[in-house]
Every structure is written in structure tokens, then in C-alpha cells.
Amino acid sequence: MPSTPPSTPDSTPAAPQPRLRPGKLCVALQAESPADLLAQAEAALEDSKFLEFRLDSLPKPAAALPRLKEFLAQHRDVTAIATCRRKKFGGNFSGALNSELDLLLKAAQAGCQIADLEVESAEEAKLAQLAKFRSALREAGCAFLVSFHDFSRTRGLDQAADRIEAFSPDFVKVVSTARSLADNLAVLRLIENHSLSSHVIGIAMGEEGIVTRVLGPRAGAAFTFASSSGGAETAPGQVTARTLRNLYHVEHIDQATRIFGVAGNPIAHSLSPLMQNTAFRRQVVNAVLLPLKTRTLADLLTLALELPLSGVAVTMPLKQEVLPHLANMDPLTARIGACNTLRTGADGKLYGFNTDVAGIVRPLEKRLRIKGARIAVLGAGGAARAAVFGLVEQGAEVFIVNRTHETAVKLARQAKAKSLKREQFAKAHFDVLINTTPCGMAGSKPSLPIEERELNAGLVFDLVYNPLETPLLKLAKSRGIPVISGVEMFVQQGARQFEIWTGKPAPEAEMQRVVELALRTRG
């Protein structure tokens, strides 16, 4: 039977709050052996001096304590949290409550400055048992953190915080699981509401919960958790300390920081966060762009309006779905019927733009006069629409060739372009050939969108950018035909987004450099 905490939870006089200055970023560590745990701790110090030791990840947690003591004695600037969550509360420790309390106390005596006890264990403990534990912790100079975890959803957070606060701990930690972007709002609200009276940590686990991981400290959270490296996450959705620090600049985010997102599903591999956050930094713009895994447009719109977001880069299929929700859009975006960029106006309404057009037009106008140029577009999908409408507007003579000829005919009619059957295309010559089909993408078949003998153009532009050098670009180069890579489109559409969002010129060369480097590193 769980013990209800008394109104004054601890009858001994309240000790002064432990004087901790742990920093905003706690790196959570787990390992299969004490040696590995401490080796990881040593490596993590490069990123943060604030570490959580998940003792429950070890088969024999007690065996790690002598080494932990040695480590903390050697690194007196380190703040350490000890956690030994039991199996039935989502951890790995198979011992009973007594053993958990004993381990946490020994960890405190070994030098850990914060002991994390899950609220279920605190409630299970007898009052006297808990009071004795807390007083021993205090003697060891260790703060008391009580945590709540919901591994399936985000619901009833205030009740969870109330359960924890009934114990008057030094830190209140509420962790839920985000199933939507809107769940982030509930966690941030909880942090805001409780941070005046408690040292609170609020996190929504899962990919959708990234907003809480990055913006929690801004909302008033005492700190946020990070992993030591990719693959070493102790909780779903955890981001590496390096990413939080170097990509999202989490320690520099303040109330004035404007929040942007790139929305879609999947979105984890998007290069927009790298590109735009690099650009913000380079141009000294106080802003951050986050990857927003979006299952429904309604969910994205809730976050955009309530957080609020200053702008969003949207991917398929949201580009079309979002149109009815815009207060206004430029005429070309309306004609294309797709919007890839949202900006929130001073009136709180959403305004739409299509920067894919700039992504195609800008690289071309650097190389030739578009007006009057004969341009063949392979494909008639979303990217082709931006290319065809944008180039017709610039005065080009545009020819569309598509696997499904009727779609090419339809698009040509809408955009005042021409459609060509494959045999007509094969006999003609063009100033530019643009591939907007996925052919050439890593793993796609066929890898070439045309027959080798059909290549008859003065310049080849492949929108595919993974791999950096597609089979089509290779073929063109082998014939001495100049080429434009899809990376240039990606960077130029992003540069235009940056200009719309910030009113500043985009650092294009730097954006291109980091995107190319990331693509090369990914291989």
C-alpha cells in the first residue's frame, strides 16, 4: 500500500538547498560494465561536466561504486546524478526498494550530488524509511530528485508533478512520451507553471518531443538530458550533447530566440537544421530551427500557432495541404498550388511562399539567360511543378516529358508549357535538361532517367542530390556537358527561406559547404 506523504514530508529541519551549479546539459550514461561506464564518463567530459550514471544499466550496479568514487574524486568539477530505476518502473534494476535506496545512498557517499528516485518508489517507501534515506542523503551532501515517467503518452502531467511535489524534493522531474508535436506544449506549460516554485525538469520522449529537449531550459527547466553519442541514447528521442550544443546552441537560447522548424515525416535525416542553424549563426541571427516530425497538418498548425513558431519549412505532402490555412500567399505559389515555406506574420497569421522556384531559377540564371531558353523537364510531379511554373514565368520555352504522358499534358496546359512524347524528346536538342524524377537517387531503379543516346542538352541540372554525383551528372560530365547538382537547388531554396525569415542575405557558400560535407560524410 503506497504511503501518502505527510503535509510536512520530512520532520527533520529543512536543510539548505544543495548548492549545485550543474549547467544546462546533463549527459546520461549507461553501460554493460563499470569499466565501460567510467570510460564513457571520461569521454563525455569533453561535452559536459554534468553526468547521469544509470546504475541500473549494469548487471551488478554496486560493483561500479568504488570506480565511480575514484572518478568523482579525480573530477571535482563534475556534477553527478545517480539513478537506479527498478524494472517495474521502466528501468533495469531487478532489486527491491531497499536495495535501490541502499545503492542510491552509497552512490551519494561515493560523491554523486543528486540521487534520482522514481515517484512510485518514493510512494512505496514507508515514511520513516524515506525520512531516514533523505537525511542520510543530506548528510552526504546529495540532493533528492523525484522522477515520473510515462512511457506511452503525455497526459496528466500536473497530477504527476503534484505527486512528486508532495515529497518536497530538491528537483522535480516529469518525463512523458510525445505522440504529437502538441504534446511538447503540455510539457513546456508544465515547466513554466512549476519552475517558480521548484527546480523542474520536463521532457517528452520520442522523436516528436525534440522541442522539449531543446526549449525546456528556456521555459524554466533546471536542465535537459542528452546522450553521449549517437546510438548511446538512454531514452527514446534523446539527442547527443554535441548536437544540442553545436547544432541547436541550447545554452544560448533565450526568450528572444525565434523558433523555426522543418516539418515532415520522416524528417530525422533532413539537412535543413544543419543548413539553417549554420546560417543563423553565421549571420548572428538569434534563432533555431528544429526537425518536427509531423503526422498531421493540424498538429503542426497547433504547434506553429501556440509555441509560436516564426516559420516552417514544409515537405510533402504538407506543401499542398497547408494552402487553405494561409492568410495569404504570393501569386506564383498559388498557381503552383504548393507552398514549402511558412512565415508567421506580426498578426499571428501564416503566410506562404514557394522557394523551390528560387532553388531552380537561381542556379540557372547564374549560368545562362533563361528568357527564350529551351528547357526540357523530366517528370511532372511536385518538384517539376515548381520548375515548370517558375521557368515559364522567367520566359523560358519549357518542354515536359513524363513517364505518364497524360500528367505531362495536364501540367503543360496549366503552366502554358509544352508536353513531349519520349520519341519527340529523343530527337530534339535543349539548352537545359532538368531531371525532376527520383531516378538516380541512391538505390533507385532505373538509375538514369533517360537512355544514354537521348542526352542532347547544353547544361544538365539533376534535382536529385543523394548521391552528390548522380549517374546522369556523371554521364553529362563524361560528354563535357556542364552540370548543376541538386545540392545547389537545396541550398538555394533554403537561402531564399532564410531571406524570407530573417530579412538578411543568406550565407550561401557556407550553407553549401556544410550540406556537401554532411552528404560526403554520410556516404
Rounded-to-integer distance, Cα 514 and Cα 21, Å: 34
Nearer to ligand NAP, 107 or 380 (CB): 380
Q: Say if residues 484 and 364 touch (Cβ distance below 8 Å).
A: yes
User: What track of x and - describes contact with ligand NAP for positions 336 through 375 (by CB under 6 A)?
Assistant: -----------------------x----------------
Check binding of 484 to ligand NAP (CB under 6 A): no
Rounded-to-integer distance, Cα 240 and Cα 243, Å: 5
Rounded-to-integer distance, Cα 358 and Cα 416, Å: 19
Check residue 338 and report its DSSP letter: -
- Concerning whether 366 is annotated as a catalytic residue, the answer is no
Nearer to ligand NAP, 214 or 415 (CB): 415
Nearest to 46 by CA among 20, 24, 30, 27: 27
Nearer to ligand NAP, 98 or 404 (CB): 404
Instruction: Identify the active-site residue in 106, 293, 319, 418.
Output: 319
Stretch that binds ligand NAP, among 29-37, 155-163, 399-407, 507-515 (CB under 6 A): 399-407
Look up residue 351 and give its three cell numbers.
503566410
Within residues 426-455, the interface with ligand NAP by CB under 6 A covers: 436-439, 441, 449
Nearer to ligand NAP, 339 or 464 (CB): 464
End-to-end CA distance of the chain: 56
Backbone φ and ψ for 248, nearest 5 degrees, come out as -100, -5
* 3-state SS assignment for residue 144: strand
Nearer to ligand NAP, 132 or 410 (CB): 410
Applying CB under 6 A, what is the total number of residues that bind ligand NAP? 25
What would you measure as the largest C-alpha separation in the chain, in angstroms? Answer: 92
Stretch that binds ligand NAP, among 33-41, 288-296, 391-399, 461-469 (CB under 6 A): 461-469
Backbone φ and ψ for 152, nearest 5 degrees, come out as -125, -20
Check binding of 381 to ligand NAP (CB under 6 A): yes
Check binding of 409 to ligand NAP (CB under 6 A): no
Minimal distance, residue 319 CB to ligand NAP, in Å: 8
Within residues 75-114, the interface with ligand NAP by CB under 6 A covers: none
Instruction: Out of 402, 419, 497, 502, point to the residue binding ligand NAP (CB under 6 A).
Output: 402
Q: Any residues with CB less than 8 A from the CB of 370 and at least 6 apart, and which?
A: 361, 364, 391, 394, 395, 396
Check binding of 276 to ligand NAP (CB under 6 A): no
Check binding of 403 to ligand NAP (CB under 6 A): yes
Task: Give the residue closest to ligand NAP by C-beta.
Answer: 381
Q: Say if residues 34 and 207 touch (Cβ distance below 8 Å).
A: no
Q: Say if residues 426 and 454 touch (Cβ distance below 8 Å).
A: yes
> Using CB under 6 A as the criterion, which residues of the chain lie in contact with ligand NAP when the complex forms?
316, 359, 379-384, 402-404, 407, 436-439, 441, 449, 463-465, 486, 489-490, 493
The catalytic residues are 319
